[in-house]
Amino acid sequence: MKPQVKPNTWYRAAGVIGVTFAIVMSPVRAKGAELSASSTPTVLAEESTSSSSAATIAELRQEIDSERKRTAELEKRLDQIQEQQESQAKTIKQLPKLNVGRAAEVTPGITTGLAPADIYNRGFFLQSNQKRFSLFINGLFQIRYTLFAPNSVIHYGALENTQNTFDVFLGRLAFSGSVFAPDLKYFAQIQASTAGNSNTISMLDWFVSKTFSQYLTVQAGRSWIPYTYEYYDNPGNYLFADLSTAEYAFLLQRAIGVQASGQVGNLSYAGEVMNSVPALDAAGQENLGSKMAYLGHLHYDLLQPYGYVESDPNPDGTWKPELTLWLSGMYNPVDYSSGFQNARAGDRTYGATPSILFRYGFLSFQGTGYYRRTLQAAGGGPSYDSWGYGEQAGYYLVPATWELAERVSGVWWGQPEIASTGGNQTNWFSGPTNFPYHRITEYSVGLNYYLFGHNAKVQGDYSYLAGSGFDNHSFGANRVELQTQVMF
């Protein structure tokens, strides 16, 4: 009896036969493929292979060049790091050995390789990444020589001695920035000066401000006042070494109070309520009565804004004309007497000042008018009006280097309120302060030399001051000023 073959056995046998047949036939199929390929023209195959090889070689060469450049950059960075480490090691070796503390932990860290932009941006600075916290440090140093020679003042009991004087006229350090938010700012400035035969250090400015929008910033503290343009400007950016005669006579300087300001388009505005504003030659800060001082201010840019520089040492000049109008009004009850401003304690004053500011090419021009109404203190004389004016212009003979300047400025007092004390004076800022006078006019010419713009410059000027008293007796003075300045 034959053994019975199972179906699975037949399936396996069929699979083996199929695989064997495929192996046997594979050389035949390969040969067929070769014959089919041989039907393609040989020239086209050679061209395709050559083109592909050229493209591959070009890509490889490009990659090699890129790697070479990258390697060169890495080597350059490595050399810089090695040089920095060698410099630091050399510097640390030169430091005196510390015998106290914890050695390396109390050794000053050495930081090199900082670019100017890392530490200086219109002042030395520290600033957090989000700009919520910042500190900027600025400084101004003005050293001045003055020759002053009055004439025809003996008639008023004053001396006619010629004075030669050196002064540290202004030495300032300012600290400013933001805290907790970029729009919550602070400003603190101290000043030292030997002007006026003194040697003082004072808290010049100290205020904080909060900006809610472009329409409203609120500020509180002691600060300069937006009354006259010339004084409101930074003294480091003046065209002449000092303010004009009329500016000293009519300005409102600094006071403690609250100010609101803002801007709409080309129009800027400000208003302030503050203590009585003393003149620059008067002491005192606190209000001595119930009356406060008030100020309102507007300025409008008709063309490009003039800004807060009386002279612009741009080597390319200014070829988009700048034209700004400035207008301010004030009420100020006088708590402290002043020879600069012909005022006595107890007077009440109202005033206004307009300015026109223009710049084009290498020319800058300022024109200002001043008006003040004085209501004299009880027991004094009648109310009276006083006037003043000033114009000045500067032109760069050599762009950004040599600048020629001229100025004419005048004051008319309506009544005499300056006491006659006689004696000697080393300078007249608004005019003589040791006898009363009716009018005075300043004629000045100056020459400025700029080393690094307003940041480092030398200014020289000559002035003739011509005046007369209420008795029409004339007097005058010659003055020469030479000033060096460094500002950062």
**What is the tens place of the pLDDT at every residue in 194-241?**
987 888 899 999 999 999 999 999 999 999 999 999 999 999 999 999
Tell whether 367 is covered by a domain: yes
Tell whether 36 is covered by a domain: no
Residue 430's closest CA among 472, 390, 481?
390
Tell whether 24 is covered by a domain: no
* pLDDT recorded at residue 113: 57
* pLDDT recorded at residue 93: 44
Only one residue has tokens 């219109």, namely: 122
Tell whether 451 is covered by a domain: yes
Q: Which residue has the higher pLDDT, 469 or 2?
A: 469
The structure's pTM equals 0.76
Q: How many domains does the chain have?
A: 1
Helix (H) or strand (E) holding 299: strand 293-301
The CB density around residue 425, as the number of other CB atoms within 10 Å, is 22
Q: What tokens appear for 207 in the block?
A: 């205020």
Highest mean pLDDT among 118-122, 199-203, 288-292, 319-323: 319-323
Tell whether 99 is covered by a domain: no
pLDDT band at residue 86, thresholds of 50, 70 and 90?
Answer: low
pLDDT band at residue 74, thresholds of 50, 70 and 90?
Answer: confident
Domain that holds residue 284: 124-487
The string of pLDDT tens digits covering residues 356-371 is 999 999 999 999 999 9
Spatial distance between the Cα atoms of 28 and 17, rounded to a whole number of angstroms: 18
Residue 223's closest CA among 209, 211, 206, 239?
206
Spatial distance between the Cα atoms of 377 and 415, rounded to a whole number of angstroms: 13
Task: Give me the percent of the chain exceeding a pLDDT of 70.
Answer: 82
Spatial distance between the Cα atoms of 126 and 115, rounded to a whole number of angstroms: 14
User: What one-letter code names the amino acid at 297?
Assistant: H
Spatial distance between the Cα atoms of 329 and 280, rounded to a whole number of angstroms: 19
- By CB neighbour count within 10 A (0-12 exposed, 13-18 middle, 19+ buried), where does 71 fall? exposed
Spatial distance between the Cα atoms of 60 and 361, rounded to a whole number of angstroms: 57
CATH number where 366 lies: 2.40.160.10
Which whole-number Å values give the CA distances from 196 to 281, 382, 427, 429, in the listed order? 9, 32, 8, 10
Spatial distance between the Cα atoms of 319 and 317, rounded to a whole number of angstroms: 6
Tell whether 2 is covered by a domain: no
Whether the Cβ atoms of residue 171 and residue 196 lie closer than 8 Å to each other: no
Tell whether 293 is covered by a domain: yes
Spatial distance between the Cα atoms of 70 and 89, rounded to a whole number of angstroms: 29
Q: What tokens appear for 456 in the block?
A: 């480092």
Tell whether 47 is covered by a domain: no
Residue 457's closest CA among 310, 322, 251, 253?
310
Q: Is residue 355 scored above 70 in pLDDT?
A: yes
DSSP-assigned beta bridge partners for residue 294? 273, 331
Question: 305 by DSSP, 3-state: which?
Answer: coil
Spatial distance between the Cα atoms of 173 and 205, rounded to a whole number of angstroms: 10
Close Cβ partners of 106 (under 8 Å, ≥ 6 residues apart): 98, 100
Whether the Cβ atoms of residue 306 and residue 324 lie closer than 8 Å to each other: yes
The string of pLDDT tens digits covering residues 2-41 is 334 334 433 343 343 343 344 334 443 433 434 333 444 4
